[in-house]
Structure 1
Amino acid sequence: MADTVLVKNFKYGSRFLNFYCLVDENERPIFAPCLFLFQTAISGQDLDTSKAYAFDLKSFFNILSQSSGKSKEDHLDFRDVSDAQMDGYLNGYLLFQKKLSTNSVQRHITTLRTFYEFSYKYGLLEKSNSYSFEIDSSENKTTMLEQATQTFHQMYITEDEFDEILLSNITTSDPFLRERDEIALKLGYYAGLRTEELVINDNLSLVKLRKQLPKVTKNIPQAFYLTIKGKNGVTRKTLVDVKVTKAIHKFIWGRLKATNSTLMCQKSGKPLKDVNHGTALFRRSIEQYLNNNALEAEDVKAWLKRSYHVLRKCYATNSVSFCYESNLDPRIFVSRWLGHASSETTEDYIIFEALLNKRLELLTELNLENSTFATAYKNKFNKK
């Protein structure tokens, strides 16, 4: 961790300078900020200015030391900070977490802008960093937590909403098709399947499912692992919630008892091939719901923005909660169940779950990389 040290009566030519500098945990000077602070003293800045600069840089470099750089073993170098990460520091850390006033954050911006200009001028940077240095003023916006929570709520569907809006508005009246389509929706919400994964060969093989869910009702598992071949051919084992486990068991030993193809099949037993089956099913349920209910224009717009894939997002978020309740590390298990190629994707849902359930103790632990959610949460979430 960085700290400030007062340097007294440092002889520079015929002058004696007093200024602050930054040292690391071993009390070794941190080169770039020390050189900057020394230069401000040479240029005639008073001690109070040097102290203010040093205080602001101490905050910034301490966050850098807690954030992973190009190699996970190294901390984030000030030369590698992206504009989104700088926004995260200013808005997510200083404004949201530390609750500094807008004027205080503006002072930090002045320090950082001056420091980066100096670093470029004196060859510490290969190119000038064009940071936006924008902050969200509380005078004309709601708090960042409220903004983030509101945005994520537009994507997240509660279990009650899932039952009352999606399952209850399946349009088919055919008992077989209705039971199948209820399971298709549940596999998104309770197992995290993508729409195309519903019809990929062998994902929902009845032979495989019957081995895992035998007919003897006494031994129906509360939950089970389902091997799924998904995006880019990557295979994962997803944890299937009991609320879809029971529905699958009933279907495969009931209406599908004479069929040996796949769970997602026609009444004839012929497998479905349409990769957009889940998407179309989701859309029909939403349209049915909107046709039968008078909603505000904003609510209608929010529902029309959703698609089948949002069910997977809900599963990911609910899985984070399940991990906390079960004393499991969501970074490990949610990543496995969803097949996330990047740990950052899992981190997105951990942060959303913290926002959703007001786990403030987790929000205060976000490092620079993760705190970009304070300003960039919309773009990051929509990319997943």
Structure 2
Amino acid sequence: MNHFIQRVVDVQYGVQTLQTCIIADKHTHVIMPAASAFLFSMTKDKGARINSVKSYAATLVSFLNTLAQDPEIGGYGYGSVTDKQMRAYLELVLIVHKEVTLNTVEQNITRLNQFYEYCWKAGLIEDRPEFSYQLSDQKMREMKIKGGIKKSLDPFNLSEQYIPYSEFNELLAYKPRVGDYENARDDIVLKLGYFVGMRAAEVVSEDNFTLPRINAAISEADKKGDKGYLLFVIGKGSNGGKPRQVYIPQLLRQQIVRFMHGARKKTPGNLLICKSDGTQLHERHASDTFSDAVKCLIKAGGEFSKSWKANKARCYHSLRHCYATNFAQYLKENNLPRLLLSERMGHADEETTLIYIHFNAVLHGDIETQNKILPLVHKKHLLES
């Protein structure tokens, strides 16, 4: 049974209202001062966003609950943890019990180190901790072998992130915002990930989906008799981002046009995806829309709620992975070069495309393609390592 839980709270700090996290006893509601002060310092001093603070809070909750309840670790006070107990937590709890990856273990080490450093500097503990944070040689070997196998076969964890169309279609019915404008806008937001391969920040960027550029792209497509249309977007990368050309399929084109001339008609400005007053949305809007929709679906007990519960790695970026995987199948069915997938995704390294080609082959039981691609995937990771 969990002893500590995390909560999101608003804290008045001078004239500002800061959203942060606290950690408290689940039953008595007594606040855990050291952990809560550390999380508040992240918000106030480092300007950390709430999702980052929540992630740190989850790490601390796991650690503190283990101290309070796990007999193999022992002890109740975070200030009395020994190096041996810390190693036991990393190996027995995180690796053996929770089966996390080596990257997650390293993330926990970094966060716990920051927490203890804060506690010492703030005078919450007398002695500066000297944890080695070392895993046993055997455990390190096991983790590297496990990670190496996973990396060479499925480095993006596509097996957990892939969303079949039926499950994605159900998700569309659980968008969290119910106003006509917001509902129509967020339906497009989700589809731009699944059917176009857009990243969350790219969807709301001022550089991409502007009405003049969309209208110009549609006019150009009409001249060529294309039922969809091509659009240049600016993705992530240095020097202002890397441009790539994406394709808006026919059904999504029609939906965007209906939105422009319908629900969005009275909205000022030139952004397709924006607030009702025409101003730019936060770069996490797409990600928050996705995660909130998943929560609504699970709470309502949707048809595929078990699948959504089981695949916790799914996020908005998973939609981009789905697009790449599905497009890989389209290329195969139409005997088109895989370079087209690299271009649509904006891969800096064309070989990254092999991961999606291989996963799609696994998904469809295409042994012939697997046998062709797998040696290339292994070779790529061997050279990188």
State the TM bucket, normalised to the shorter chain.
0.5 to 0.7
Pick from 276, 290, 293 the counterpart of residue 285 of structure 1: 293
Tell me the residue number matched to 2:278: 269
Q: Could you say what secondary structure the match of 2:368 adopts?
A: helix
Aligned counterpart, 2:365: 358
Q: Name the structure 2 match of 1:128.
A: none
Give the Å deviation of 1:295: 8.9
1:98 aligned residue: none
SS of aligned partner of 1:368: helix
Distance in 2 of aligned mates of 1:278 and 1:204: 14
The aligned counterpart of 1:26 is: none
d(CA) in 1 for partners of 2:320 and 2:337? 19
Q: Does 1:195 align with 2:204?
A: no
CA distance in 1 between counterparts of 2:169 and 2:305 reads 22
1:323-334 to 2 correspondences below 5 Å: 323-330=331-338, 332-334=339-341
- The answer as to whether partners of 2:229 and 2:248 remain within 8 angstroms in 1 is yes
Q: Report the Cα distance in structure 1 between the residues aligned to 2:218 and 2:225, rounded to whole angstroms.
A: 6
Alpha-carbon distance in 2 for matches of 1:227, 1:210? 13
- C-alpha spacing 1:188/1:307, structure 2 compared with 1 (3 Å): same
**1:176 is aligned to 2:181:** yes
Deviation at 1:245, TM superposition (A): 1.6
2:233 corresponds in structure 1 to: 228
Aligned to 1:163: 169
| 2-structure distance, mates of 1:295, 1:239 | 31
How far, CA to CA, are the matches of 1:282 and 1:319 in structure 2? 21
Check whether the contact 1:194–1:312 (CA below 8 A) recurs between aligned residues.
yes
Q: CA deviation at 1:348?
A: 0.4
Question: Of 345, 349, 356, which aligns to 1:349?
Answer: 356
Distance 1:317 1:270 in 2: 33
1:234-245 maps to which residues of 2 (within 5 A)?
Answer: 234-245=242-253
- Give the match for residue 25 of structure 1: none
Equivalent residue in structure 1 for 2:210, among 184, 189, 205:
205
Task: Give the conservation status (yes or no) of the 8 Å contact 2:232–2:245.
Answer: yes
Question: Matched residues in 1 for 2:145 and 2:259: separation?
Answer: 54
Q: Which residues of structure 1 form unaligned runs of 5+? A: 1-130, 137-143
How far is 1:302 from its partner?
3.2
Deviation at 1:343, TM superposition (A): 1.7
Letter in 1 for 2:162: Y
**Is the CA contact 2:260–2:272 (under 8 Å) kept in the aligned structure 1?**
yes
**What SS does structure 2 have at the residue aligned with 1:256?**
coil
Amino acid at match of 1:261: N
User: Which of 302, 318, 327 lines up with 2:310 in the alignment?
Assistant: 302
Change (3 A) 1:294 1:202: closer
Report if aligned partners of 2:297, 2:305 keep a CA contact under 8 Å in 1: no
The normalised TM-score by structure 2 is 0.54
Aligned-partner Cα distance in 2 for 1:372–1:324: 22
For 1:1-384, list aligned pairs within 5 A.
152-164=158-170, 166-213=171-218, 221-232=226-237, 233-258=241-266, 259-272=268-281, 274-293=282-301, 299=307, 301-330=309-338, 332-366=339-373, 368-371=375-378
Identity %, equivalent residues: 29
Matched residue SS, 1:306:
coil
Name the CA shift for 1:221/1:367 in 2 (closer, same or farther; >3 Å): closer
Residues 186 and 336 (structure 1), Cα distance of their counterparts in 2 relative to 1, 3 Å cut: same
User: What is the aligned-residue RMSD (CA, Å)?
Assistant: 3.6
**In 2, distance between residues paired with 1:177 and 1:298?**
27
Question: Aligned-pair distance for 1:289?
Answer: 0.7
Aligned length in residues: 232
Letter in 1 for 2:250: V
CA–CA distance in structure 2, aligned partners of residues 281 and 296 of structure 1:
18
Alpha-carbon separation, structure 2, partners of 1:155 and 1:322: 19
**CA displacement 1:123-174 (0-9 Å, x = unmatched):** xxxxxxxx99x999xxxxxxx9xx97xx64421111111111x201002220
CA drift at 1:241: 2.3
Check whether the contact 1:220–1:246 (CA below 8 A) recurs between aligned residues.
Answer: no
Instruction: Sort the Cα spacing of 1:168 and 1:269 in 2 relative to 1 into closer, same or farther, 3 A.
Output: same
Change (3 A) 1:217 1:369: closer
- Cα distance in 1 for partners of 2:276, 2:225 equals 25
After TM superposition, the score normalised by the length of structure 1 is 0.54
